[in-house]
Chains A and B, each alone.
Chain A
Amino acid sequence: MDMIKETAFETALIAIISKGLPLVKQPYAAIAEQLDCSETEVIEGIERIMMRGDLKRFGVVVRHRQLGYRANGMVVWDIPDDRVKQVGHCIGQYAFVTLCYQRPRRLPDWHYNLFSMIHGQDRDAVTEQVKFIVAQCGLHDVDHRILFSQRCFKQRGASYRRPLPDSIGPGRGIAANG
């Protein structure tokens, strides 16, 4: 895995930037003080971590619910195996789709193999976006369901080695990003 090249310094740095930059004028200098190194080493360390492709983005992390996006639909699709990649890329290209993952079927209990997450201001908005996807990606014949979220029983804040609160969560293991 990617871990091989990660130094203890980078691990510490990842933990800090996952939790968030301090809101001070020189945040990297503040981190440097914490790690007992120079500001340049912090900035170069972050650049190295970015180069490895482990970082999806680095900036303001918004909370959808607080911004009025109250409907959260996990849309599950039953896509023929030989079309999953093509359809996955089609669905994943839209800005309102926050996650698009292939997961295994578990027959006979579960036959959906593609999962996409859509945040909308209400249920109708999500339903409309799903219709749009169906039309754009040619999925009229594809069985799909929208699983709207109801109660949230547990939502742990994002921290190092934990998936993000707004995600439906990752899969696992080495094969995941392959």
Chain B
Amino acid sequence: MRQFSPLEQRLLNEFQQGMPLTSNPYADIAKQLGVYETTVLETLQRLQTEGVISRVGAVFRPNRVGASTLAAMAVPEDEIETIAAIINEFEEVNHNYEREHEFNLWFVVVATDEDRLQLVLSDIEAACGYPVLDLPLLDEFFIDLGFDLKWT
């Protein structure tokens, strides 16, 4: 990991929320940081190009629209890559991680509605030959204030 300048650190840590809704939001940020607007824009552009930030934008609550679930599958170790590839073929699957547990594949399925979601889960089970654990969200307990980065 490369070292981040004090300006970069502040941009990364203090501006994960509260993007100004003004004509020149980056100028407002620059004012708070005591730098030029162009410096803020150039720095954000660089961080984005490097992949340190994905964007300056909005993060929405889950379940605004449609139906989704967290799904898990227990797959033999030597089949995991094959099965993961089959799961990834489904357009409704939007990410898929290996995790350290008997249930070793964890993926998120998003569909337009609940019926469609259940259909996709059955199709995934049929295609993979292993049962799917369907773990939809029931309740949410956190205030997302962004992520507090620790600079050491």
Q: Which residues of B contact A (CB under 8 A)?
A: 1, 11-12, 15-19, 21-27, 37, 41, 44-45, 48, 50-70, 72, 81, 84-85, 87-88, 93-101, 103, 105-108, 110, 114, 117, 133-150
Contact = CB atoms under 8 A, between A and B. Distances in A.
- A interface secondary structure, majority: mixed
B45 A172 contact: no
Contact of A89 (B25, B48, B141): B141
A21 B56 contact: yes
B144 A98 contact: yes
Contacts of B106: 74, 147, 168
- B interface secondary structure, majority: mixed
Contact of B114 (A58, A158, A173): A173
A150 B136 contact: no
Given A25-B37, A29-B23, A171 B133 contact: no
B85 to A, nearest CB: 8
A80 interface: no
Nearest to B150: A121
Interface residues of A, number: 90
B138 A54 contact: no
Contacts of A157: 54
A46 to B, nearest CB: 6
A175 B114 CA distance: 12
B61 A106 contact: no
Contact of A64 (B55, B95, B147): B147
A176 B137 contact: yes
